[in-house]
Amino acid sequence: MESSMCILILCLSAITPVIRARVVPVPPLLQNYEKPSSNNIFDNSMYGLLQLNNGLARTPPMGWNSWNFFACDISETVIKETADALVATGLADLGYVYLNIDDCWSASERNSQDELVPNPKTFPSGIKALADYVHEKGLKLGIYSDAGRFTCQVLPGSIYHENDDAKLFASWVSLWYMYPIYNILLCLDVGIECMNLIFHGVIQGVDFLKYDNCYNLGINPKERYPPMRDALNATGRTIFYSICEWGVDDPALWAGELGNSWRTTDDINDSWASMTMIADLNDKWAAYAGPGGWNDPDMLEVGNGGMTYQEYRAHFSIWALMKAPLLIGCDVRSMTAETLEIVTNKEVIAVNQDPLGVQGRKVYVSGTDDCLQVWAGPLTGHRIAVVLWNRCSKAATITAAWGALGLESSTSVSVRDLWKHEDVVTDKVASFRARVDAHSCDSAGSEPLLATTKEESTDGGSEGSKNPNPIFSETGDDFWACGASTVDLLGCRLFDGMASLEKILEVNPCSSACKEFSSAN
Ligand SMILES: *[C@@H]1O[C@H](CO)[C@@H](O)[C@H](O)[C@H]1NC(C)=O
Ligand SMILES: *[C@@H]1O[C@H](CO)[C@@H](O)[C@H](O)[C@H]1NC(C)=O
């Protein structure tokens, strides 16, 4: 019988320290590129080399972008209706808050003051009005420009206009809308300061800039992308800087100091071939991603019709695991139930948004052309997310051996399926295997499996405040100590390598099951 297993959570239940989910800590800015990567399978030693550090993107951005479905066929009506739909469908509540307008919003020429202007036919009310509309709904607005002479659709680009354009993007605020009476008084009182606030957009303005790579005059991207970073910074408004250089000059190596994300590949298209190829290309740069700066394998195609339901589930699962920006690329005003089910899977979203921020990667391959694959990545709570991905043309059994996940084979884990939303097995040792359909099958095709081992208890809500990210902690050898048998009921914690078992039990509110287990040993 075929399994329709897609994503699972494995949960650790061994008492002995087993998982070295932790990687060599990287003091930001001090790492040098030549340092050999650690042999840890979840190596992230290249992360944080050159952090932009504008406070954004602690987890990958989530939202929507107009390009994949609408391309140039956009208007203020489409954008407003999309804002309405993001809220009405519950997507906004799940974290999809960036509403990003891609190419084609602007008129074909700058105005007489050399400013970018919205296309008067499609955006007659202007972007400022849209920004108000979007912000009023609790969403954030993204805009698009190009680090070249023209955008890809041959509209004005921003090279050599970085400061003016950044100011313009940040200035799209309707002050009167925000604070009508208060602002009149404020401006009477502080005069020019007040006007600065308004025009520099401290109060509102855009929240995200996608910066493309067309008509780039052959200038090195390392020269073309910094001016816009500086211009955005100078506006005083924190704006997510999404570098869209298509991976041409390996931006993972240099874009971390420039942007909050950087495209690692050419554009995705709505096909299995494109999606799988892009996943593989993006995988190469896993060690460079982390909170503040992410590899970007391009927007989601889920819901656009070119892949099967199962293929879209695989697409969404792998993008989540790879800590890719989750930017929906379909028409959210008219999603099918299946599309909505995929993009609203809270457990899969939680993998993407996990505060540990380590990009999952391909850890094991077998079969013809390596088409049977295991992808995995560590999460907080001493869990490991695992995807069993059948990219072959026939159903097959895929085995995730603990060794491939960086676990001792004696480690006992429980497994949860994040698509079925059920616990599959407990106290599993050595490996987990599942029958996974081929992607071309009509029903349960190319099912990735995502498994996690429970890592750290969430007691005291300390995850948000204290260092949520043990991988980046500066202290000694952290490891898993106490186990859990299900994700939600029991907890595990990360302890210092020298801690005694007693100490572990004393400080860890481990469950009675855990204590029994330990006293029996
Ligand atoms: C501007 O850059 C500085 C230095 O990196 C940073 O501390 C600050 O938060 C940035 N400001 C904005 C608005 O991005
Ligand atoms: C989509 O991408 C794949 C892989 O790069 C490519 O083979 C195919 O021609 C592309 N399809 C379209 C319509 O561009």
238 lines ligand 1 (CB under 6 A): yes
Mean pLDDT of the chain: 77
Q: What residues act catalytically?
A: 212, 267
Grade residue 9 by pLDDT with cuts at 50, 70 and 90. Answer: low
Quote the ligand 2 centre to 177 CA distance (angstroms): 45
Instruction: Decide: 236 in ligand 1 pocket, CB within 6 A.
Output: yes
Calculate how far, in angstroms, residue 342's C-alpha sits from the geometric centre of ligand 2: 23
Is pLDDT of 17 > 70?
Answer: no
pLDDT in tens, 288-339: 999 999 999 999 999 999 999 999 999 999 999 999 999 999 999 999 999 9
Ligand closest to the CA atom of residue 301: 2
- The predicted-structure confidence for 39-91, as pLDDT tens digits, reads as follows 478 887 777 655 788 989 999 999 999 999 999 999 999 999 999 999 999 99
Ligand nearest to the CA of 275: 2
Query: What is the rounded average pLDDT of the residues 89-103?
Result: 98
Q: Is residue 277 lining ligand 2, measured as CB closer than 6 Å?
A: yes
What is the Å distance from ligand 1's center to 52 Cα? Answer: 8
End-to-end CA distance of the chain: 38
Predicted pLDDT at 455: 37
pLDDT interval class at 423 (50, 70, 90):
confident
Mean pLDDT of 449-453: 45
169 CA from centroid of ligand 1 (Å): 17
CB 352 within 8 A of CB 94: no
Closest-lying ligand 1 atom to the alpha carbon of residue 53: 5
pLDDT at 462: 33
Q: Is 266 near ligand 2, meaning CB less than 6 Å away?
A: no
Among 270, 271, 282, 304, name the best residue to mutate to test ligand 2's pocket (greatest count of ligand atoms within 8 A of Cβ). 271
Give the helix, strand, coil percentages of the chain, each rounded to 5. Answer: 30, 20, 50
Ligand at minimal distance from the CA of 268 is: 2
38 Cβ below 6 A of ligand 1: no
Of 25-39, 109-123, 331-345, 407-421, the one with minimum mean pLDDT is 25-39
54 Cβ below 6 A of ligand 1: yes
For residue 138, CA distances in Å to 132, 260, 291, 384 come to: 10, 21, 23, 33
pLDDT at 395 over 60: yes
pLDDT band, very low/low/confident/very high, at 427 (cuts 50, 70, 90): confident
pLDDT of residue 194: 54
pLDDT for 112 = 97
Strands 413-417 and 98-100 turn out to be unpaired
Query: 14-18, 111-115, 398-402: which range is least confident on average?
Result: 14-18
Please say whether the beta carbons of 506 and 481 come within 8 A: no
- The per-residue pLDDT for range 134-169, each reduced to its tens digit, is 988 999 999 999 999 999 999 999 999 999 999 999
From atom 8 of ligand 2, which residue's Cα is the shortest distance away?
A: 274
Contact between residue 167 and residue 199 where contact means Cβ atoms under 8 Å apart: yes
- Ligand 1 atom with the smallest distance to the CA of 239 is 14
Q: Tell how far the Cα of 54 is from the centroid of ligand 1, in angstroms.
A: 5
Res 313: pLDDT: 93
Rounded CA separation 76/132 (Å): 12
- Cβ–ligand 2 distance for 274 under 6 Å, the answer yes
Question: For residues 316 and 345, what is the distance between their CA atoms, to the nearest angstrom?
Answer: 9
Distances from the Cα of 518 to the Cα of 12, 13, 143, 478, 513, angstroms = 14, 10, 55, 19, 9
* pLDDT value at 273 more than 80: yes
pTM metric for this prediction: 0.79
pLDDT tens digits along 346-376: 999 999 999 989 999 999 999 999 999 999 9
- Least distant ligand from the CA of 55: 1
In our burial notation (b when 16+ CB lie closer than 10 A, e otherwise), range 254-286 reads: bbbebbbbbbbbeebebebebbbebbeebbbbb
Nearest CA to ligand 1 atom 1: 233
How confident is the model over 462-466, as a mean pLDDT? 31
* Predicted local confidence at residue 50, as pLDDT: 55
The finding on whether 51 has its CB within 6 A of some atom of ligand 1 is no
Taking a C-beta distance cutoff of 8 angstroms, is the pair 134, 98 a contact?
Answer: no
